[in-house]
Structure 1
Amino acid sequence: MMNKSEVIWPDYYHPKHSHIHVRSQIEIPEPPEVVWQHLVRAPEWPAWRHSKTMVQILSGDSTLCKNTMFRWKTSWVDFHCTVVEYTLNQRLAWKGKKGGVDMYHAWVLEPTKTGCCITTESTQRGGMTWLTKYFAPKQLRKYHLKWLEELCRQSHGNCEK
């Protein structure tokens, strides 16, 4: 039986088939509903101290929902993404592509007695990931942790690591 906080991986993107896999987690003192409001507002992500991040919604309105297409660009990646999983206040995931690299990024929000636990995981495969797997996970992990801390700040005002 699957734990609620586990990502529901499409087989193609499963970590066992990917060169790069990063998982990060944080607990915050806010319920999933509060966190969710900030997570799905992708065009606002760059304002969260992600100065080298750009998000452009390509289809739909300014919040992510199932089948929303968007461009997500950081200082070292530029993916065209589609939201493939959306369960209100619980699960959000998108797949993306840049050249020969395929990626999958998932979020799971699970209620706790004091707020919620946020888990984010991503995988990459194809293209040069057979080579970048030696340095990209460290960068990606730092990016995830920064993203989680900023999501906490947006939702609660301050956050402990």
Structure 2
Amino acid sequence: MYETIKWPDEMKPSRSPIHFTNELDVAASVETIWSLLTDPKAWPSFYPGVQHVQLLDGHARFGAGTRFETNLAGQDVHASVQEFEPMTRIAWGGYPKAAEHSRAYHAWIITPTANGCHLWTEETMRGPHWIELAKQAPDIYWLTHEKLLKDIAEVAVAREKSGA
């Protein structure tokens, strides 16, 4: 899948000490998944630990270059959308406010399937802040993203069943 993600050079998996992927087939449409990923108000309903998302450029939804602040992995994070291909791919890169030299890059790829879509999420992280957190719980990032996929799938399926 690497060829489909436009990794910044410093965040490529081969250059990042923390790299993980998660994937799941979801019985919901690409459009429903995309609407959840690009709506900052929806994130707290499926993103583990997210309590708020604040877009910094006056936008109502995520788009190419959108800067935002949120709390991810228990950290206050500043990030911006680096990749934006509607209904196909979105990725953001950023850093925890407490450690600007520690970086993360998180990409989502959505592929239509006969029964809905396939979600692929991949993240790389570098810097002492993320590494220290990983030492405390080595599988925490991967496990959090497994929950993230499960939760977004549940929210998407429920949204489609309710007709919202």
The alpha carbon displacement at 1:37 in A equals 0.7
- State the TM-score, normalizing by the size of structure 1: 0.84
The alpha carbon displacement at 1:52 in A equals 5.1
Which range moved further: 71-80 or 143-152?
A: 71-80
What are the within-5 Å matches in structure 2 for residues 57-96 of structure 1? 57-74=55-72, 76-96=74-94
Matched letter for residue 156 of structure 1: V
Distance 1:3 1:106, change over 3 A: closer
CA shift digits 1:67-121 (9 cap, x unpaired)? 1111121362221000010000000001102222011010000111221100111
Counterpart in the other structure of 1:42: 40
- State the TM-score, normalizing by the size of structure 2: 0.83
> Does the alignment pair 1:21 with 2:19?
yes
> Does the alignment pair 1:116 with 2:117?
yes
Higher helix share: 2
Gaps (5+ residues) in structure 2? 160-164
Gaps (5+ residues) in structure 1? none
Counterpart in the other structure of 1:149: 150
2:43/2:50 contact within 8 Å kept: no
Percent identity over the alignment is 29
- CA distance, structure 1, for counterparts of residue 10 and residue 47 of structure 2: 32
Counterpart in the other structure of 1:105: 106
Which range moved further: 104-113 or 49-58?
A: 49-58
CA shift digits 1:26-61 (9 cap, x unpaired)? 101222112101111123211337455321111232
